[in-house]
């Protein structure tokens, strides 16, 4: 059995992770970490901090779906203790991820995925394949109004993949120079030269469009996630895979190959 600790266990994604791990026959939730639910009686103990949890239980893997403001601290406690980490909380820079992985105990894996849905991973792979053939590309992402970061980690990763795939070519679309006074930002945030637009509204869970354009044609690649259960197969794949890996791994596609 794989012993799993779930950070953010009382949140929307954390609760879904708890249910998915509990339903799997090769892993179990040994504790939760959530300062708002610490001490609650239930199927497993809940601690206020990762450090408190690791003093009390033996965890093989920490799954983190918390907040951008606390995820780095959680990983800084778990990785040096030799606990593999599966992270879906976005907002961490590549530099921060690299430093956290460098501070990990030997043989420990930090797995970070901007998105755990197989459809979103395929959307990014399709965008990467299309990028060299289109001079213009933009990303539009749509999320629920309680999401703490904008743009989403998936949108940032998609823009990075597009930029890498079409380098040294850059966008030929008009940019910020076309924005009207008082309406700065209308062309979106530039991520590696790719405009990214973030929508936050009730009614969405997570959706994204990648729009490519060239002379006389457009190509739109879209993925929609309407329920958080869509993330769970990817999360379970990450939990099952990190024990055989070491160092920093980014992207669910690494384990889907």
Tokens of 220: 């739109």
- By DSSP bridging, strand 136-143 and strand 206-214 are antiparallel
Catalytic residue among 128, 143, 197, 223: 143
Residue 165 Cα to chain centre, angstroms: 21
143 an active-site residue?
yes
User: CB of 162 within 8 A of CB of 196?
Assistant: no
User: ∠ at Cα 86 (80, 90), nearest 5°?
Assistant: 105
User: CB of 24 within 8 A of CB of 50?
Assistant: no
Judged by DSSP in three states, 23 sits in helix
Residue 105 has what DSSP assignment?
A: P
128 an active-site residue?
no
Catalytic residue among 36, 144, 147, 223: 147
Q: Return the active site residues.
A: 143, 147
């Amino acid at each position: 059995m794989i012993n799993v600790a779930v950070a953010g266990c009382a949140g929307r994604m954390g609760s879904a992770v708890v249910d998915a791990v509990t339903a799997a026959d090769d892993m179990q939730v040994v504790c939760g970490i959530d300062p708002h639910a610490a001490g609650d009686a239930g199927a497993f103990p809940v601690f206020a901090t990762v450090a408190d949890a690791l003093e009390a239980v033996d965890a093989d893997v920490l799954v983190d779906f918390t907040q951008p403001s606390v995820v780095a601290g959680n990983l800084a406690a778990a990785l040096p203790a030799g606990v593999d980490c599966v992270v879906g909380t976005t907002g961490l820079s590549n530099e921060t991820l690299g430093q956290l992985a460098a501070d990990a105990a030997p043989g420990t894996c930090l797995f970070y995925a901007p998105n755990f849905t197989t459809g979103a991973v395929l959307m990014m792979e399709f965008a990467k394949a299309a990028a060299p053939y289109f001079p213009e590309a933009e990303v539009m992402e749509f999320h629920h109004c309680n999401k703490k970061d904008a743009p989403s980690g998936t949108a940032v990763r998609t823009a990075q993949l597009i930029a890498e795939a079409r380098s040294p070519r850059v966008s030929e679309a008009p940019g910020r120079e076309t924005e009207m006074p008082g309406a700065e930002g209308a062309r979106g945030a530039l991520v590696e030269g790719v405009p990214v637009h973030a929508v936050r509204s009730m009614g969405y869970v997570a959706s994204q469009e990648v729009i490519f354009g060239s002379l006389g044609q457009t190509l739109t690649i879209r993925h929609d996630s309407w329920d958080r259960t869509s993330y769970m197969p990817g999360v379970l794949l990450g939990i099952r895979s990190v024990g055989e890996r070491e160092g920093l791994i980014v992207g669910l596609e690494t384990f889907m190959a």
